[in-house]
Amino acid sequence: MGGIRFSFPASVIAGKGRIDRHDFLILRKYTFADGISTYDDALLMLALNDMCPARCDEWPTYFIETLSAFIVDGSSPTGRIDLLKSAWLIQTLAVDGAVDDPLHLEFLLHAIERAGSCPEILSAFALDQLRLAFCDEPCGAYRMGRPHRNGIAAYDIAYVWRILRNAVDGGRLFLSPLEASILNMINGLVEDRDNHPGWADIMEHVSGGRGADSLRRRPWLRTPDMLLSRHPQLV
């Protein structure tokens, strides 16, 4: 997002490196008077967020609600997240597969919840943020928010169910091979640790999924580039 050009008053606010309540009201009145209606608007809001680490209390909710409303209901196809939207989200929010800003991660989760369902590549990408928290060199915003526990905690279980709750039908969890593969990789990292009992319940549903070896290397970094190259208006 380095190529974003800010117009007044966003340029002044970005230059300060903070968004106070007065700035927030100005942005709502002038810069985002009609909300977020284009991908350029969305990129502008994301860039402002990145350039202003100090933010007023009103900003996070506005940021998450406005962006998720646009990506699900304000852009075509309305009411859902398709492969192209998934590609845009992954390429825009992640650096080397990791979502580094907690607000970006919450925007992603809120969009998935608002849509009700999403392509497997996006749900697997969201699950992979949990895997990154248990790697030898942990990274990503998710690890910063979770409790400091050696194994899977109740917090992690709640995170998984936020992503997969719409995959439950008749008491069974129906996972795609890609989702199952990510969960298997997480289990490989935590299987000898002190895990919440709910993790064993989740893994019981994974037995029919493919193993970690079948997962394409960093698919969310390849597929988005391929899709977005066909739709340059989203880049």
State the average pLDDT for the chain. 89
CA 202 – CA 26 distance, rounded (Å): 46
pLDDT digits (tens, 9 = 90+) for 79-124: 999 999 999 999 999 999 999 999 999 999 999 999 988 999 999 9
Residue 170 has a pLDDT of 77
Domain assignments of the chain as residue spans, ordered by start? 7-76, 80-235
Distance between start and end Cα atoms, the chain = 10
Query: Residue 58: its pLDDT value, please?
Result: 97
pTM of the prediction? Answer: 0.86
What pLDDT score was predicted for residue 234? 62
Region of residue 128 (phi > 0: left; psi between -120 and 50: alpha; otherwise: beta): alpha
Residue, of 192 and 2, whose pLDDT is higher = 192
- Ranges of beta strands (E only) in 25-91 are 54-55
Predicted local confidence at residue 97, as pLDDT: 96
pLDDT at 16 over 80: yes
Q: Please give the Cα distance from 188 to 196 (Å, whole number).
A: 15
